[in-house]
A and B are shown apart, each in its own frame.
Chain A
Amino acid sequence: MSADPAPPARGITPFVWFGVAIAVGAAWALFMGLSYYNVPTFTESALPTIAGVAIAVVAFLVIGAWAPANE
């Protein structure tokens, strides 16, 4: 292994990439739940949970963006 090179400083940070991973994973989970929209009991049985998950994901991203950095 060669000596440590100097790192580039600009570009998308790992924090953003992990945020994207969260958004993509969560979108998939919501899609999976919503695929039951055609079951008549969906609104009563499933929607509260799916809505709760959706709100949680948004809150997660917003609070994460607002929170102080790990410095």
Chain B
Amino acid sequence: MTSSDTPAPERAAAEQPIPVFERPPAVIRFFDRTEEAIRSRLAKRTFFRRVFQLDRDWMTRITMLMVIASVFWGILGAVDIFGWRTQVTAFALGQPLHLSNQEMYSALTLHGIRMLFGFAQQLELALFGVIFVTAFGLTPRHKWAYYLSFLLLNLSMLLMEGPFYLYPIFNDNYFPATGWYFYSPLGIRGLSEYVASPLWYLGWIALSAAVIIWSGWMLLHFRDWWRSHRGQVHRVPPFALFVLATVVLIPLSYVTVLASSTWDLFNYFGVGPVNPLVNQVLFWFFGHGVVYVLFLIPITAFYFLVPIFAKRPIYSYRAAFVAAVVFTILTPLLSIHHLYLTPVPPWAAWTTMALTFLIVIPSAITFFTIWMTTKGVKKGEWQWNAVTLFLLLSFAGTMAGGLTGPDNNTMSFDIDLHNTLFIVSHFHAIALLSIAAGGFAVVYAAFPLLAGRLWYSPRLAQAHFVSTAIGWSGLVMFMDLLGSDGILRRSLIFPLNPAVVADQVWLTVFVVVSIGAQLFFVANILLTMFKGELLTVQGLSLDEIIRKMAQSTHPKPTVPISDVKFERRTPRPRREGAERTWITVVVVLIVTVLVATSPLTLSDSTAIGTPADPPAGSEYFSLVGHQYYWEVHEAGPIVGSFSDVMVVHAGQWVAVNATAEGATCGFYIPFRNLPVVDIQVIPDAMSYWLFQAPSIPGVYGAPDSEYNGPWFGQDMAALVVLPATGTASLAQYESNGGEGDIYNPPVWAANGVVLTGDDEGLFNNSVPGPTLTATPGVVSFHYYVPMSTIGIDNYLVNVTSTDPNGQQEYLAAHGDTLPYQFGIYTINTTGGNLVPVAGTTMPLKVGSVLNETATLAAGVYVYGLVSPVSYVYNPAGESTWMTGSQQGQIMGLWGILWVSP
């Protein structure tokens, strides 16, 4: 960056006499006095003085508080994901689980909340604020507005965490298991079986208020700068364009979550109605926008730092300007691309798809412009320190994450990807490899300015970079491998096939590496604050100061930090000509891809929102998604009503119409040899789909693809494909790999097998349980629900108390017997539903190996508990409107028995 791009910092006097008529209100003076009293006392202790920078100006002090708070939430977010991964790994390896479902899913929710908002958003506000004020040489004003923003933001994190009990026993089962993004009406009292505390919604409102106040504060200061420099500068520095984009996009994005949260809160107290689909659309204006707001961290880092280290101005200012403007205009318009599989109007889906493709343009401009800024820089003029290395990682990470964005955005392709770990991989490629890497570049470039000291250890900085790059790349890769297999996001329960188990374990390993890597960073931060060399900036320009700070992360710096005189030799028309050529190519490609994918997009979107006109002989599924099972009503050649069982003949067309009660669900069958079935099912709306059942008889797994509460993992149905006529064995099904549906339950020979219950109330970590096969005649198998699997979180024993042994005590008092009938049931396809086989039904007994024996004809049967088990969590009456509550109808101990010659 040349000195002409950025105004030199001005050192305004921190404390000046204030005329009486400009004295602040009494309340502000009271706050000032109180703050000063606290500051002066704490400043006497070195630890507090150094950590909180108590001998510095108020802007530095608040910024330091924000940085510390963001690191705090980041650490908690890391603990959250570590907790979740330990349980996922335990499930994968068949080990006992130590957290309740509520705790596990809350950990996942809070991981997202704390990382995105407590950590990343807060760090963004802190860094953008201080860089903006420093680079523009401003005297910061309105201290208490800035404090208020800080306090509200961190208060929102506490509110969203929800209540927990310390007495009579510690109980944190009321953490919000809702998802960092809304699945309206999940969590709303009276509408959802799972109810979050109203603090959750108040937290969103507080967060919105916090960042909108910050934006207003920034706009006021930008106005200050503009007024004081009117006529002196002819353009805003390129990086500041993107800071301004952030300032504009934050209120535009957060106002929608403010609206949807307020709407939810009203509904929580019975003032409605809520329209779940409209509410979700409203939320996603925020949900999409906020990720792009965070994406402006690396973008701003590139525009700010690359010219500084290249010691030359940006390649094309006009291109950067266009990118900032287009980015700001398009970002608030893209909500619906998260809702392609809901019954939104096809025109809305197509328009959003087109707009989303268009937002590639500002990114394309940015990355071309930044890359070209480095063209002409010789090796010896560029230092690979922690700042530039993280910029490089962010550059690669943005490519890896950003270029999968068009895949998600292609509606017809989204059917294959939606709600799988592919999405989570894409998101983390952006969140970690792009956003966080760019954020670390800025932190390494700016933190010494806050601490007043140069980085203590270049080796720690290098170790941080290398281990972080390895950890993040690994976790993104294994998330993707799982996602491309069809494994769902947010689900503790997944098929234990060897590849999935291995990928889950590796994913945990890389999560641990990623967390461990940050210890190098935290150690360097602490050492820098207490042992770092004092930063001296006399006589240095801002660019030189930043290079000096960055150089302290390199063990043997070789590149001078001094500014060099830059004389432009390549004229602007030639540079802009290259930019235009590139953008023309991008536009042509976007139009081409849009034209190529539009027909399927429009037909798929129409199919979700419009009743199908199926061929004669089709089966009609009327589905109602509950928390946590599918109520199935069938008409056509097969007539019947079932729970979680869907029955068709091989090759039959199936017309689905589906709605939900309580929370949004997803009807998902991740075939690989056949087209994937994946639609979102929303309360108060109807979703449709038409698909052809596999031609090979068998039992196909159909998990609920949309998270809808703490028992979401158990919410898996079976598509039972009967032979078109007569009987068929499962040999072809097994050799074919069950059409590639990874959620198909394993196939076991029935005779002699012992089905064993697990901590999640499933047989052998599978739902549906293993598909048992037998030949006609006497069929005999055992089942066993160990006493050790019964605990506070096993839905089977519906006793919740503050006594940790309450469930076992209930069993002891009832002869270890539960009031649910285990049995073998015939599937009557002519309206008889499930008919118990005589002599097979018996109450479920815990802690004993029980035997089922029956003489069965060829056919398909359902075994186990074939009706949902009601679950209510209310230990000692602790579930209230204030704490939240959970209940539901859960099916886990069941499976298909396939009898064929």
Contacts and interface: CB of A to CB of B under 8 A. Distances in A.
Partners in one complex: yes
Name the residue in B310, B533, B593 with the highest tally of chain A Cβ atoms < 10 Å from its Cβ: B593
Contacts of A29: 399-404
A10 B586 CA distance: 34
B676 interface: yes
A63 B597 contact: no
B368 A48 contact: no
Contacts of A59: 582, 585-586, 589
A50 B551 contact: no
B378 A69 contact: no
B413 A68 contact: no
Contacts of B364: 56, 60
Interface in B389-419: 392-393, 395-404, 406-407, 409-410, 412-413, 415-417
A56 B586 contact: yes
A7 B559 contact: yes
B578 A14 contact: no
A18 B371 contact: yes
B407 A46 contact: yes
A70 B375 CA distance: 5
B395 A33 contact: no
Contacts of A28: 399-400, 477
B407 A33 contact: yes
Q: Is the interface of A mostly helix, strand, loop or mixed?
A: helix
Contact of A26 (B399, B548, B575, B596): B399
A22 to B, nearest CB: 5
Contacts of B839: none
Contacts of A64: 368, 371-372, 375, 582
Chain B interface, >50% SS class? helix
Given A49-B410, A67-B575, A68-B578, A7 B596 contact: no
A8 B407 contact: no
Nearest to A11: B379
Contacts of B560: 4-5, 7
A13 B378 contact: yes
Contact of B674 (A13, A40, A56, A60): A40
Given A14-B310, A15-B374, A40 B392 contact: no
B376 interface: yes
Interface-central residue, B403, B404, B477, B593, by most chain A CB under 10 Å = B403
B399 A46 contact: no
Nearest to A33: B407
A7 to B, nearest CB: 3
Interface stretch (B252-260, B561-569, B883-891): B561-569
B574 interface: yes
Nearest to A51: B593
Given A1-B552, A64-B368, A67-B578, A40 B673 contact: yes
Interface of B: 310, 312-313, 315, 364, 367-368, 370-382, 388, 392-393, 395-404, 406-407, 409-410, 412-413, 415-417, 422, 425-426, 454, 477, 480-481, 484, 533, 548, 551-552, 557-562, 568-570, 574-575, 578, 581-582, 585-586, 589-590, 592-593, 596-597, 600, 671-676, 740
11 contacts: A8-B380, A9-B378, A10-B380, A25-B396, A32-B480, A35-B481, A40-B673, A45-B412, A52-B590, A56-B586, A59-B586
